[in-house]
Protein backbone atom coordinates (compact mmCIF):
# COMPACT_ATOMS: atom_id res chain seq x y z
CA UNK A 1 0.00 0.00 0.00
CA UNK A 2 1.42 3.35 -1.03
CA UNK A 3 0.03 5.09 2.05
CA UNK A 4 2.39 3.09 4.26
CA UNK A 5 5.24 4.47 2.22
CA UNK A 6 3.97 7.97 1.55
CA UNK A 7 2.52 9.02 4.84
CA UNK A 8 1.45 12.51 3.97
CA UNK A 9 -1.33 12.71 1.39
CA UNK A 10 -0.11 16.05 0.13
CA UNK A 11 3.09 14.52 -1.19
CA UNK A 12 1.16 12.36 -3.62
CA UNK A 13 0.98 15.21 -6.07
CA UNK A 14 4.75 15.21 -6.35
CA UNK A 15 4.77 11.72 -7.78
CA UNK A 16 6.13 11.83 -11.31
CA UNK A 17 7.73 9.49 -13.78
CA UNK A 18 11.49 9.02 -13.83
CA UNK A 19 11.49 10.87 -17.16
CA UNK A 20 9.77 13.87 -15.64
CA UNK A 21 12.12 13.85 -12.65
CA UNK A 22 15.12 13.74 -14.96
CA UNK A 23 13.96 17.03 -16.47
CA UNK A 24 14.85 18.74 -13.19
CA UNK A 25 18.52 18.16 -13.92
CA UNK A 26 20.36 20.81 -15.87
CA UNK A 27 23.60 20.82 -17.78
CA UNK A 28 26.53 21.61 -15.47
CA UNK A 29 24.87 20.49 -12.28
CA UNK A 30 26.44 18.43 -9.53
CA UNK A 31 24.36 15.41 -8.56
CA UNK A 32 24.55 13.52 -5.28
CA UNK A 33 23.30 9.96 -5.51
CA UNK A 34 22.35 7.74 -2.63
CA UNK A 35 23.93 4.31 -2.59
CA UNK A 36 26.93 2.54 -1.20
CA UNK A 37 28.66 -0.49 -2.73
CA UNK A 38 26.08 -0.74 -4.41
CA UNK A 39 23.12 -0.98 -2.07
CA UNK A 40 20.41 1.63 -1.83
CA UNK A 41 21.42 3.42 -5.00
CA UNK A 42 19.21 5.55 -7.22
CA UNK A 43 17.96 3.21 -9.93
CA UNK A 44 15.45 4.90 -12.24
CA UNK A 45 16.25 8.58 -12.62
CA UNK A 46 19.87 8.11 -13.78
CA UNK A 47 18.67 5.82 -16.55
CA UNK A 48 15.96 8.27 -17.54
CA UNK A 49 18.52 11.07 -17.54
CA UNK A 50 20.73 9.26 -20.02
CA UNK A 51 17.74 8.61 -22.28
CA UNK A 52 16.71 12.23 -22.12
CA UNK A 53 20.17 13.51 -22.95
CA UNK A 54 20.50 11.09 -25.85
CA UNK A 55 17.15 12.16 -27.19
CA UNK A 56 17.86 15.86 -26.86
CA UNK A 57 21.30 15.48 -28.40
CA UNK A 58 22.72 18.60 -26.74
CA UNK A 59 26.05 18.82 -24.93
CA UNK A 60 25.39 17.87 -21.32
CA UNK A 61 27.72 17.26 -18.40
CA UNK A 62 27.12 16.57 -14.76
CA UNK A 63 29.34 15.86 -11.77
CA UNK A 64 28.48 12.55 -10.18
CA UNK A 65 29.01 12.24 -6.44
CA UNK A 66 27.96 9.10 -4.61
CA UNK A 67 28.52 7.26 -1.38
CA UNK A 68 30.73 4.61 -2.91
CA UNK A 69 30.16 2.31 -5.87
CA UNK A 70 26.68 2.29 -7.37
CA UNK A 71 25.13 -0.27 -9.65
CA UNK A 72 27.40 -1.12 -12.52
CA UNK A 73 24.68 -0.52 -15.01
CA UNK A 74 24.26 3.09 -13.97
CA UNK A 75 27.98 3.92 -13.83
CA UNK A 76 28.49 2.40 -17.26
CA UNK A 77 25.44 4.06 -18.74
CA UNK A 78 26.29 7.51 -17.50
CA UNK A 79 29.95 7.41 -18.39
CA UNK A 80 29.47 5.75 -21.77
CA UNK A 81 26.94 8.46 -22.58
CA UNK A 82 29.77 10.93 -22.03
CA UNK A 83 27.84 13.05 -19.60
CA UNK A 84 30.02 12.59 -16.51
CA UNK A 85 32.53 15.36 -15.96
CA UNK A 86 33.75 14.62 -12.44
CA UNK A 87 33.18 11.42 -10.48
CA UNK A 88 33.89 10.77 -6.81
CA UNK A 89 34.63 9.26 -4.30
CA UNK A 90 34.66 5.54 -5.33
CA UNK A 91 33.55 3.26 -8.14
CA UNK A 92 34.05 -0.38 -9.01
CA UNK A 93 32.54 -0.62 -12.44
CA UNK A 94 34.12 -1.88 -15.61
CA UNK A 95 32.56 0.76 -17.83
CA UNK A 96 33.33 3.68 -15.56
CA UNK A 97 36.85 2.32 -15.07
CA UNK A 98 37.43 2.25 -18.81
CA UNK A 99 36.25 5.82 -19.16
CA UNK A 100 38.19 7.27 -16.29
CA UNK A 101 41.36 5.46 -17.30
CA UNK A 102 40.94 6.99 -20.74
CA UNK A 103 40.78 10.42 -19.12
CA UNK A 104 37.18 10.90 -20.24
CA UNK A 105 35.92 11.18 -16.69
CA UNK A 106 37.80 13.23 -14.10
CA UNK A 107 37.81 10.83 -11.18
CA UNK A 108 38.75 11.96 -7.72
CA UNK A 109 39.68 8.94 -5.66
CA UNK A 110 38.87 10.01 -2.09
CA UNK A 111 38.91 8.63 1.43
CA UNK A 112 35.24 7.81 1.95
CA UNK A 113 35.07 9.81 5.16
CA UNK A 114 36.41 12.91 3.39
CA UNK A 115 33.66 13.69 0.90
CA UNK A 116 31.24 15.23 3.37
CA UNK A 117 34.03 17.36 4.87
CA UNK A 118 35.14 18.54 1.43
CA UNK A 119 31.58 19.55 0.61
CA UNK A 120 31.13 21.30 3.92
CA UNK A 121 34.33 23.33 3.57
CA UNK A 122 33.51 24.36 0.01
CA UNK A 123 36.44 22.46 -1.48
CA UNK A 124 34.13 20.77 -3.99
CA UNK A 125 31.32 22.16 -6.12
CA UNK A 126 28.13 22.12 -4.05
CA UNK A 127 25.55 19.43 -4.74
CA UNK A 128 22.62 20.84 -6.68
CA UNK A 129 20.34 17.85 -6.90
CA UNK A 130 20.23 14.85 -4.58
CA UNK A 131 18.70 11.66 -5.94
CA UNK A 132 17.86 9.49 -3.01
CA UNK A 133 16.37 6.05 -2.69
CA UNK A 134 14.00 5.85 0.29
CA UNK A 135 11.61 3.24 1.57
CA UNK A 136 9.13 5.77 2.94
CA UNK A 137 8.45 9.47 3.41
CA UNK A 138 7.04 10.29 6.81
CA UNK A 139 4.15 12.54 7.71
CA UNK A 140 6.60 15.46 8.26
CA UNK A 141 8.34 14.80 4.97
CA UNK A 142 11.37 13.07 6.46
CA UNK A 143 13.02 10.26 4.53
CA UNK A 144 13.26 6.69 5.71
CA UNK A 145 16.43 5.62 3.92
CA UNK A 146 17.01 2.35 2.15
CA UNK A 147 19.76 -0.30 2.34
CA UNK A 148 22.53 2.30 2.49
CA UNK A 149 23.17 5.63 4.13
CA UNK A 150 26.37 6.64 2.34
CA UNK A 151 26.69 10.38 1.77
CA UNK A 152 22.94 10.88 1.54
CA UNK A 153 22.62 13.16 4.60
CA UNK A 154 25.15 15.72 3.37
CA UNK A 155 23.82 15.57 -0.21
CA UNK A 156 20.26 16.16 1.00
CA UNK A 157 21.42 18.94 3.28
CA UNK A 158 23.21 20.81 0.47
CA UNK A 159 20.98 20.21 -2.52
CA UNK A 160 18.34 22.72 -3.54
CA UNK A 161 16.38 19.93 -5.19
CA UNK A 162 15.74 16.44 -3.87
CA UNK A 163 14.38 13.69 -6.06
CA UNK A 164 13.19 10.72 -4.04
CA UNK A 165 13.07 7.26 -5.53
CA UNK A 166 10.51 5.52 -3.37
CA UNK A 167 11.44 1.88 -3.82
CA UNK A 168 8.63 -0.53 -2.99
CA UNK A 169 10.97 -3.48 -3.41
CA UNK A 170 13.02 -2.48 -0.39
CA UNK A 171 11.59 -3.71 2.92
CA UNK A 172 9.83 -1.23 5.13
CA UNK A 173 11.47 -3.05 8.03
CA UNK A 174 14.60 -1.03 7.28
CA UNK A 175 12.90 1.75 9.21
CA UNK A 176 14.60 2.21 12.55
CA UNK A 177 17.92 0.69 11.56
CA UNK A 178 19.50 3.98 10.50
CA UNK A 179 21.30 6.24 12.92
CA UNK A 180 21.79 9.63 11.29
CA UNK A 181 24.19 12.06 12.86
CA UNK A 182 25.84 15.02 11.17
CA UNK A 183 28.90 16.80 12.60
CA UNK A 184 28.47 20.55 13.01
CA UNK A 185 30.60 23.00 11.01
CA UNK A 186 34.17 23.44 12.21
CA UNK A 187 34.44 25.76 15.14
CA UNK A 188 31.21 24.57 16.71
CA UNK A 189 31.89 20.89 16.57
CA UNK A 190 31.25 18.61 19.54
CA UNK A 191 32.95 15.31 20.22
CA UNK A 192 31.02 12.53 18.49
CA UNK A 193 29.32 10.81 21.43
CA UNK A 194 29.77 7.26 20.16
CA UNK A 195 31.61 4.89 22.48
CA UNK A 196 30.52 1.42 21.38
CA UNK A 197 29.64 0.01 17.95
CA UNK A 198 25.96 -0.27 18.84
CA UNK A 199 25.50 3.21 20.30
CA UNK A 200 22.73 5.22 18.69
CA UNK A 201 23.51 8.92 18.60
CA UNK A 202 21.21 10.33 15.94
CA UNK A 203 17.84 10.14 14.26
CA UNK A 204 16.33 7.17 12.48
CA UNK A 205 14.91 9.28 9.66
CA UNK A 206 16.53 11.96 7.53
CA UNK A 207 15.06 15.39 8.20
CA UNK A 208 14.98 17.42 5.00
CA UNK A 209 13.25 20.63 4.10
CA UNK A 210 10.08 19.15 2.55
CA UNK A 211 9.93 21.96 0.01
CA UNK A 212 13.12 20.68 -1.55
CA UNK A 213 11.43 17.42 -2.51
CA UNK A 214 10.52 18.35 -6.05
CA UNK A 215 9.80 14.89 -7.38
CA UNK A 216 8.94 11.45 -6.07
CA UNK A 217 9.48 8.52 -8.40
CA UNK A 218 7.99 5.21 -7.37
CA UNK A 219 10.24 2.26 -8.21
CA UNK A 220 10.11 -1.44 -7.55
CA UNK A 221 13.50 -2.96 -8.04
CA UNK A 222 15.83 -4.84 -5.72
CA UNK A 223 19.47 -3.83 -5.30
CA UNK A 224 21.67 -5.45 -7.91
CA UNK A 225 24.48 -7.06 -5.97
CA UNK A 226 26.90 -9.52 -7.46
CA UNK A 227 26.93 -13.04 -6.15
CA UNK A 228 29.66 -13.40 -3.54
CA UNK A 229 32.55 -15.50 -4.80
CA UNK A 230 32.82 -18.49 -2.48
CA UNK A 231 36.06 -18.76 -0.53
CA UNK A 232 38.62 -20.58 -2.70
CA UNK A 233 41.54 -22.44 -1.22
CA UNK A 234 43.76 -19.39 -1.22
CA UNK A 235 41.34 -16.99 0.42
CA UNK A 236 40.46 -19.65 2.99
CA UNK A 237 44.16 -20.10 3.76
CA UNK A 238 44.61 -16.36 4.18
CA UNK A 239 41.63 -16.28 6.51
CA UNK A 240 43.23 -19.05 8.55
CA UNK A 241 46.54 -17.23 8.86
CA UNK A 242 44.76 -14.13 9.99
CA UNK A 243 42.51 -15.82 12.50
CA UNK A 244 45.39 -17.84 13.95
CA UNK A 245 47.29 -14.63 14.39
CA UNK A 246 44.36 -13.10 16.25
CA UNK A 247 44.27 -16.16 18.50
CA UNK A 248 47.93 -15.68 19.31
CA UNK A 249 47.32 -12.04 20.09
CA UNK A 250 44.65 -13.08 22.56
CA UNK A 251 46.99 -15.64 24.12
CA UNK A 252 49.70 -13.01 24.42
CA UNK A 253 47.24 -10.74 26.19
CA UNK A 254 47.38 -8.10 23.48
CA UNK A 255 43.70 -8.56 22.63
CA UNK A 256 40.77 -9.55 24.80
CA UNK A 257 38.80 -12.77 24.21
CA UNK A 258 36.21 -10.92 22.12
CA UNK A 259 38.91 -9.18 20.09
CA UNK A 260 38.08 -5.60 19.16
CA UNK A 261 35.45 -4.25 16.79
CA UNK A 262 36.15 -5.62 13.33
CA UNK A 263 36.27 -3.65 10.11
CA UNK A 264 36.49 -5.59 6.93
CA UNK A 265 36.67 -4.34 3.36
CA UNK A 266 34.73 -5.31 0.30
CA UNK A 267 35.51 -8.41 -1.65
CA UNK A 268 36.15 -12.07 -1.40
CA UNK A 269 39.06 -12.09 1.07
CA UNK A 270 37.18 -10.03 3.57
CA UNK A 271 34.17 -12.26 3.24
CA UNK A 272 36.33 -15.37 3.60
CA UNK A 273 37.89 -14.01 6.78
CA UNK A 274 34.49 -13.47 8.26
CA UNK A 275 33.36 -16.94 7.26
CA UNK A 276 36.52 -18.21 8.91
CA UNK A 277 35.19 -17.07 12.27
CA UNK A 278 32.36 -19.60 11.94
CA UNK A 279 34.77 -22.40 12.82
CA UNK A 280 36.27 -20.68 15.84
CA UNK A 281 35.41 -20.34 19.50
CA UNK A 282 35.20 -16.58 19.26
CA UNK A 283 31.88 -15.19 20.48
CA UNK A 284 30.31 -11.82 21.15
CA UNK A 285 32.26 -10.20 18.37
CA UNK A 286 31.43 -6.69 17.27
CA UNK A 287 31.65 -5.20 13.82
CA UNK A 288 32.25 -1.53 13.05
CA UNK A 289 32.62 -1.46 9.31
CA UNK A 290 31.37 -0.04 6.05
CA UNK A 291 29.68 -2.71 4.02
CA UNK A 292 27.87 -5.46 5.87
CA UNK A 293 28.03 -8.53 3.64
CA UNK A 294 26.46 -11.99 3.85
CA UNK A 295 28.94 -13.41 6.31
CA UNK A 296 27.96 -10.92 9.00
CA UNK A 297 24.46 -12.34 9.08
CA UNK A 298 25.60 -15.94 9.15
CA UNK A 299 27.83 -15.05 12.07
CA UNK A 300 24.90 -13.44 13.82
CA UNK A 301 22.84 -16.55 13.21
CA UNK A 302 25.65 -18.61 14.69
CA UNK A 303 25.80 -16.39 17.75
CA UNK A 304 29.28 -15.12 16.98
CA UNK A 305 28.53 -11.49 16.23
CA UNK A 306 26.52 -9.59 18.77
CA UNK A 307 26.52 -6.17 17.14
CA UNK A 308 27.21 -4.82 13.66
CA UNK A 309 27.44 -1.21 12.60
CA UNK A 310 27.86 -0.39 8.94
CA UNK A 311 27.01 1.98 6.17
CA UNK A 312 25.15 -0.41 3.88
CA UNK A 313 23.61 -3.85 3.64
CA UNK A 314 25.18 -5.46 0.61
CA UNK A 315 23.50 -8.81 0.44
CA UNK A 316 24.06 -11.30 -2.37
CA UNK A 317 21.05 -12.57 -4.35
CA UNK A 318 21.34 -15.95 -2.58
CA UNK A 319 20.93 -14.38 0.84
CA UNK A 320 18.58 -11.63 -0.19
CA UNK A 321 15.37 -13.14 1.05
CA UNK A 322 16.83 -14.66 4.20
CA UNK A 323 18.26 -11.37 5.38
CA UNK A 324 16.17 -8.60 3.90
CA UNK A 325 12.83 -10.32 4.51
CA UNK A 326 13.85 -11.10 8.09
CA UNK A 327 15.31 -7.87 9.28
CA UNK A 328 13.38 -8.01 12.53
CA UNK A 329 15.55 -10.92 13.53
CA UNK A 330 18.62 -8.66 13.41
CA UNK A 331 17.03 -5.41 14.46
CA UNK A 332 18.68 -5.10 17.88
CA UNK A 333 22.09 -5.96 16.51
CA UNK A 334 22.24 -3.69 13.49
CA UNK A 335 22.97 0.01 12.93
CA UNK A 336 23.36 1.80 9.60
CA UNK A 337 25.29 5.07 9.63
CA UNK A 338 26.45 7.79 7.24
CA UNK A 339 29.88 7.00 5.86
CA UNK A 340 31.48 9.93 7.63
CA UNK A 341 30.52 8.12 10.83
CA UNK A 342 31.14 4.51 9.80
CA UNK A 343 34.56 5.60 8.51
CA UNK A 344 35.32 8.29 11.03
CA UNK A 345 38.93 8.47 12.20
CA UNK A 346 37.80 9.72 15.61
CA UNK A 347 35.69 6.61 16.11
CA UNK A 348 38.08 4.15 14.48
CA UNK A 349 40.76 5.24 16.87
CA UNK A 350 38.55 5.46 19.95
CA UNK A 351 37.12 1.97 19.44
CA UNK A 352 40.51 0.51 18.52
CA UNK A 353 39.34 -1.33 15.43
CA UNK A 354 40.88 -4.37 13.81
CA UNK A 355 40.97 -3.32 10.15
CA UNK A 356 41.14 -5.93 7.41
CA UNK A 357 41.47 -4.72 3.84
CA UNK A 358 42.72 -6.01 0.52
CA UNK A 359 45.75 -4.83 -1.43
CA UNK A 360 46.59 -5.10 -5.11
CA UNK A 361 50.29 -5.25 -4.29
CA UNK A 362 52.61 -4.60 -1.36
CA UNK A 363 56.32 -3.95 -1.38
CA UNK A 364 59.09 -5.50 0.65
CA UNK A 365 59.00 -2.54 3.05
CA UNK A 366 55.28 -2.74 3.75
CA UNK A 367 53.90 0.00 1.51
CA UNK A 368 50.55 -0.90 0.00
CA UNK A 369 48.97 -0.20 -3.38
CA UNK A 370 45.19 -0.67 -3.25
CA UNK A 371 44.19 1.12 -6.41
CA UNK A 372 46.44 1.14 -9.47
CA UNK A 373 47.43 -1.71 -11.79
CA UNK A 374 51.05 -1.24 -12.92
CA UNK A 375 51.06 2.24 -11.41
CA UNK A 376 48.65 3.73 -13.94
CA UNK A 377 45.32 1.95 -14.42
CA UNK A 378 42.77 2.65 -11.71
CA UNK A 379 40.97 -0.42 -10.43
CA UNK A 380 38.35 0.90 -7.98
CA UNK A 381 39.69 3.47 -5.54
CA UNK A 382 41.04 3.67 -2.01
CA UNK A 383 37.55 3.53 -0.56
CA UNK A 384 37.51 3.49 3.19
CA UNK A 385 40.74 1.58 3.59
CA UNK A 386 42.73 4.68 4.51
CA UNK A 387 40.16 5.88 7.00
CA UNK A 388 40.60 2.64 8.86
CA UNK A 389 44.22 1.66 8.25
CA UNK A 390 45.75 4.71 9.89
CA UNK A 391 43.44 4.81 12.87
CA UNK A 392 42.84 1.17 13.70
CA UNK A 393 44.51 -0.60 16.56
CA UNK A 394 45.65 -3.38 14.25
CA UNK A 395 45.78 -2.99 10.48
CA UNK A 396 45.90 -5.97 8.12
CA UNK A 397 46.34 -5.96 4.37
CA UNK A 398 45.63 -9.18 2.51
CA UNK A 399 46.53 -10.14 -1.03
CA UNK A 400 47.22 -13.29 -2.96
CA UNK A 401 50.98 -13.52 -3.44
CA UNK A 402 50.65 -13.64 -7.22
CA UNK A 403 48.16 -12.64 -9.89
CA UNK A 404 47.53 -13.62 -13.51
CA UNK A 405 48.77 -17.20 -13.30
CA UNK A 406 51.87 -16.24 -11.36
CA UNK A 407 52.99 -13.84 -14.08
CA UNK A 408 52.68 -11.06 -11.52
CA UNK A 409 54.13 -11.06 -8.04
CA UNK A 410 51.95 -9.09 -5.66
CA UNK A 411 55.04 -8.65 -3.48
CA UNK A 412 57.31 -6.25 -5.35
CA UNK A 413 60.50 -4.29 -4.65
CA UNK A 414 58.57 -1.02 -4.67
CA UNK A 415 54.85 -0.44 -5.07
CA UNK A 416 53.98 1.25 -8.35
CA UNK A 417 51.51 3.49 -6.54
CA UNK A 418 51.23 4.06 -2.82
CA UNK A 419 47.92 4.27 -0.99
CA UNK A 420 49.00 3.11 2.46
CA UNK A 421 52.45 4.04 3.61
CA UNK A 422 54.69 1.84 5.72
CA UNK A 423 53.56 3.91 8.72
CA UNK A 424 50.01 2.58 8.47
CA UNK A 425 50.50 -1.11 7.82
CA UNK A 426 50.86 -3.59 10.68
CA UNK A 427 50.39 -7.03 9.19
CA UNK A 428 50.59 -8.42 5.64
CA UNK A 429 48.76 -11.64 4.82
CA UNK A 430 49.05 -13.80 1.72
CA UNK A 431 48.17 -17.44 1.18
CA UNK A 432 51.87 -18.12 1.83
CA UNK A 433 51.82 -16.72 5.32
CA UNK A 434 51.72 -13.62 7.45
CA UNK A 435 54.26 -10.92 8.33
CA UNK A 436 53.80 -8.98 11.55
CA UNK A 437 55.62 -5.72 10.89
CA UNK A 438 54.92 -3.94 14.15
CA UNK A 439 58.02 -2.47 15.71
CA UNK A 440 60.27 -3.40 12.80
CA UNK A 441 62.64 -1.23 10.80
CA UNK A 442 62.46 -1.40 6.98
CA UNK A 443 65.38 -3.84 6.75
CA UNK A 444 63.75 -6.16 9.25
CA UNK A 445 60.42 -5.88 7.46
CA UNK A 446 61.92 -6.74 4.08
CA UNK A 447 63.28 -10.08 5.23
CA UNK A 448 60.07 -10.99 6.99
CA UNK A 449 57.80 -10.10 4.10
CA UNK A 450 59.93 -11.93 1.55
CA UNK A 451 60.28 -14.96 3.81
CA UNK A 452 56.68 -15.23 4.99
CA UNK A 453 54.53 -13.76 2.24
CA UNK A 454 56.18 -14.02 -1.17
CA UNK A 455 55.40 -16.81 -3.59
CA UNK A 456 58.20 -19.40 -3.92
CA UNK A 457 58.55 -18.52 -7.60
CA UNK A 458 59.47 -14.94 -6.71
CA UNK A 459 61.35 -15.39 -3.44
CA UNK A 460 64.84 -15.77 -4.95
CA UNK A 461 64.23 -12.81 -7.23
CA UNK A 462 63.10 -10.64 -4.32
CA UNK A 463 66.04 -11.68 -2.19
CA UNK A 464 68.41 -10.91 -5.05
CA UNK A 465 66.92 -7.44 -5.36
CA UNK A 466 67.18 -6.86 -1.65
CA UNK A 467 70.79 -8.06 -1.51
CA UNK A 468 71.73 -5.72 -4.31
CA UNK A 469 69.87 -2.88 -2.60
CA UNK A 470 71.72 -3.55 0.65
CA UNK A 471 74.98 -2.87 -1.17
CA UNK A 472 73.72 0.63 -1.83
CA UNK A 473 72.68 1.10 1.80
CA UNK A 474 70.20 3.49 3.34
CA UNK A 475 67.36 3.22 5.78
CA UNK A 476 65.17 1.81 3.01
CA UNK A 477 67.61 0.18 0.61
CA UNK A 478 66.71 0.30 -3.07
CA UNK A 479 68.37 -0.06 -6.41
CA UNK A 480 66.56 2.98 -7.63
CA UNK A 481 66.91 2.27 -11.35
CA UNK A 482 65.48 -1.23 -10.82
CA UNK A 483 62.84 -0.46 -8.19
CA UNK A 484 60.03 -0.46 -10.76
CA UNK A 485 61.71 -2.75 -13.26
CA UNK A 486 59.40 -5.64 -12.42
CA UNK A 487 56.41 -3.59 -13.49
CA UNK A 488 58.21 -2.32 -16.57
CA UNK A 489 59.03 -5.90 -17.49
CA UNK A 490 55.44 -6.98 -17.09
CA UNK A 491 54.22 -4.12 -19.26
CA UNK A 492 56.71 -5.01 -21.98
CA UNK A 493 56.94 -8.78 -21.74
CA UNK A 494 53.79 -9.86 -19.95
CA UNK A 495 55.57 -11.40 -16.99
CA UNK A 496 57.56 -10.36 -13.94
CA UNK A 497 59.52 -13.58 -13.94
CA UNK A 498 63.25 -13.10 -14.38
Q: List the catalytic residues.
A: 290
Site membership for a copy of itself, residue 418 (CB under 8 A):
yes
Binding residue positions for CoA: 265-269, 360, 380, 384, 404
Instruction: Please choose which of ligand COA, a copy of itself, none residue 372 contacts, taking the beta carbon within 5 to 8 angstroms, the exact cut-off set by kind.
Output: a copy of itself
x/- site string to ligand COA, residues 57 to 96, per CB under 6 A?
A: ----------------------------------------
Site membership for a copy of itself, residue 441 (CB under 8 A):
yes
Name the residue among 431, 256, 288 with its Cα closest to residue 353: 288
SS3 of 379-428: CCCCCCHHHHHCCCCEEEEECCCEECCCCEECEECCCCCCCECHHHCCEE
Site for a copy of itself in 71-100 (CB under 8 A): 86, 100
Which of 480, 493, 494, 498 is in the footprint of a copy of itself by CB under 8 A?
480
**Closest CB 144 distance from a copy of itself, rounded Å:** 29
Site membership for ligand COA, residue 378 (CB under 6 A):
no
**Cis peptide before 89, with omega less than 30 degrees from 0?**
yes
Residues 363, 381: Cα–Cα separation, whole Å:
19
Q: If you compute the radius of gyration of the chain from its CA atoms, what whole number of angstroms results?
A: 23
Which of 12, 94, 254, 331 is in the footprint of a copy of itself by CB under 8 A?
254
Site for a copy of itself in 359-398 (CB under 8 A): 367, 372, 374-378, 382, 386, 390-391, 393-394
Residues 49, 77: Cα–Cα separation, whole Å:
10
Site for a copy of itself in 256-315 (CB under 8 A): 256, 260
> Do the beta carbons of residue 106 and residue 78 sit within 8 Å?
no
> Do the beta carbons of residue 148 and residue 41 sit within 8 Å?
yes
Q: Please identify, using beta-carbon distances, which residue of 266 and 308 lies nearer to ligand COA.
A: 266
Site membership for ligand COA, residue 236 (CB under 6 A):
no
Which of 58, 103, 257, 281 is in the footprint of a copy of itself by CB under 8 A?
103
Using the rule CB under 8 A, give the single segment among 219-227, 236-244, 313-321, 477-485 that binds a copy of itself: 477-485
Instruction: Please choose which of ligand COA, a copy of itself, none residue 339 contacts, taking the beta carbon within 5 to 8 angstroms, the exact cut-off set by kind.
Output: none
Using the rule CB under 6 A, give the single segment among 194-202, 277-285, 398-406, 458-466 that binds ligand COA: 398-406
Q: Please identify, using beta-carbon distances, which residue of 403 and 447 lies nearer to ligand COA.
A: 403
- Pairing of β 305-310 and β 408-409: unpaired
Which of 77, 180, 215, 266 is in the footprint of ligand COA by CB under 6 A?
266
Residues 65, 289: Cα–Cα separation, whole Å:
21
Buried b (16+ CB within 10 A) or exposed e, 315-343: beeebeeebbeebeebeebbbbbbbbbbb
Which of 13, 55, 123, 233 is in the footprint of a copy of itself by CB under 8 A?
123
Instruction: Please choose which of a copy of itself, ligand COA, none residue 390 contacts, taking the beta carbon within 5 to 8 angstroms, the exact cut-off set by kind.
Output: a copy of itself
> Do the beta carbons of residue 287 and residue 262 sit within 8 Å?
yes
Using the rule CB under 6 A, give the single segment among 113-121, 127-135, 262-270, 435-443 that binds ligand COA: 262-270
Site membership for a copy of itself, residue 498 (CB under 8 A):
no
**Closest CB 77 distance from ligand COA, rounded Å:** 21
Helices (H), 32-148: 45-56, 72-80, 94-101, 114-120
**Closest CB 278 distance from ligand COA, rounded Å:** 20
Site membership for a copy of itself, residue 128 (CB under 8 A):
no
> Do the beta carbons of residue 115 and residue 32 sit within 8 Å?
no
Q: Please identify, using beta-carbon distances, which residue of 406 and 422 lies nearer to a copy of itself.
A: 422
Helices (H), 81-217: 94-101, 114-120, 152-158
Residues 457, 409: Cα–Cα separation, whole Å:
9
x/- site string to ligand COA, residues 405 to 444, per CB under 6 A?
A: ---x-x----------------------------------
Number of residues assigned to the chain = 498
Using the rule CB under 6 A, give the single segment among 172-180, 236-244, 271-279, 373-381 that binds ligand COA: 373-381
Quote the crossing angle between the two packed helices 45-56 and 72-80, to the nearest 10°.
20
User: Angle at the Cα of 244 (from 239 to 245), degrees rounded to 5?
Assistant: 100
Amino acid sequence: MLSERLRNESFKERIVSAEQAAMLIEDGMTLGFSGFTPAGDAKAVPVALVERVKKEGNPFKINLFTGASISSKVDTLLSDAGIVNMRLPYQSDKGMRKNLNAGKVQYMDQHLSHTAEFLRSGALPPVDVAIIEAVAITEEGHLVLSTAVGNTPIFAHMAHTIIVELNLAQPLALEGLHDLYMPAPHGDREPIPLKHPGDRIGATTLAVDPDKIKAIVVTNQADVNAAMAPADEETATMANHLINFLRQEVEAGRLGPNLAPLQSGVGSVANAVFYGFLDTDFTDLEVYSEVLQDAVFELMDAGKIKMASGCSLTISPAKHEEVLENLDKYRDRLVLRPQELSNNPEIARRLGLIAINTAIEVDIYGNVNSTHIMGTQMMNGIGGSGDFARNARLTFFCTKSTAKDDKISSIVPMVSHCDHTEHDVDVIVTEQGLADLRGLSPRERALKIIENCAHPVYKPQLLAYYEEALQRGGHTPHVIEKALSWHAKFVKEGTMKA
